[in-house]
Structure 1
């Protein structure tokens, strides 16, 4: 298998992993703040009103997250294909990179929730719809915003990981 084909397959896998992460993440954030979905996300993502709410939250998560696999995968695995000398080495580094990104994203999301619990956002900074549970709504929003920050950190960490894997492989050769 060529490194280019491996990079493309890893990018596709990253999109699937991001979609699954999004579906699971949104199950947690739905539990934190159902209003976040019923008063915001379901309309934003055109979720039919007759869908079960948990299914709707999962579908929101898929739609909101799958593309992060492209945003992260294209540069990480594209550079990986250039610096890691074998397809097998790129596959190994790629699986680790996907796991690292998912872990950092989950950690960032949990940190966002924890920060919002410990030090709530002052009124007037974030939009909240009338009638929403403002505290819960902000907590779910903090989780989502922090998850995207975690993805950005994961992009950088993934780049470092594949570059180091390439350097080590070339030194060992």
Structure 2
């Protein structure tokens, strides 16, 4: 019963955590390209009225976009890590391992997103990408860098989910070939 409680809390908590991650992520990408939001994301999420953002503070609208764009990924992350966590022998180990798996998941998403920013800024922005662009776009290269970071971040979330599940399997002793840094036995003295 305790493990079921950890599962439910994980599934309920991760969408909130994913949404907060999106808020921080989008604050960063707004700094890279405010046009990516004011001329694309605000419109995409219906957060404009007569061509202007629904709030006078664009950073607040960016926070709304960030939450709305990512909260739902937390459902998959929570289900994936929560169900995998059921393999652990007790609720305490399950909870501790799930938390570490989620941190690993978020870290991989963040690093992959930064890689996407670099790829977008250093490569994509200098090519003829087949993306939709607003008619009145001023800084196309920054728009591409921000968009690339967004796309890579979603990919990083998926890779992170896989890595977190593998980590949990490793902790449970189900696999012994990946993630040697997280090996439970490596912390014991010989």
What TM-score, normalized to structure 2? 0.83
CA contact (8 A) 1:45 1:60 kept: yes
Rounded to whole Å, the distance in 2 between the matches of 1:124 and 1:164 is 40
Match of 1:76 in 2: 81
Rounded to whole Å, the distance in 1 between the matches of 2:109 and 2:76 is 14
2:94 to 87, 90, 94: 90
> Offset of 1:85 from its aligned partner?
1.2
Structure 2 runs not aligned, ≥5 long: 175-183, 186-190
Bigger Rg, which one: 2
1:162 and 2:172 matched: no
Match of 1:60 in 2: 65
SS of the residue 2:124 aligns to: coil
Match of 2:3 in 1: 3
Rounded to whole Å, the distance in 2 between the matches of 1:44 and 1:80 is 36
Rounded to whole Å, the distance in 2 between the matches of 1:118 and 1:42 is 26
SS of the residue 1:167 aligns to: coil
Aligned residue pairs total 169
Structure 1 runs not aligned, ≥5 long: none
Rounded to whole Å, the distance in 2 between the matches of 1:91 and 1:124 is 44
Question: What CA RMSD, in Å, does the superposition of the two structures yield over aligned residues?
Answer: 1.7
Rounded to whole Å, the distance in 2 between the matches of 1:14 and 1:161 is 18
Q: Give 1:1-173 correspondences, 5 Å limit.
A: 2-48=2-48, 49-51=53-55, 52-81=57-86, 83-121=87-125, 122-132=127-137, 133-167=139-173
> Offset of 1:124 from its aligned partner?
4.1
Rounded to whole Å, the distance in 2 between the matches of 1:136 and 1:144 is 12
> Offset of 1:161 from its aligned partner?
1.4
Q: Could you list the per-position Cα deviations for residues 11-32 of structure 1 after superposition, in whole angstroms to 9, with x for gaps in the alignment? A: 2222121111100000000111
> Offset of 1:60 from its aligned partner?
0.4
Rounded to whole Å, the distance in 1 between the matches of 2:159 and 2:90 is 26
What TM-score, normalized to structure 1? 0.91
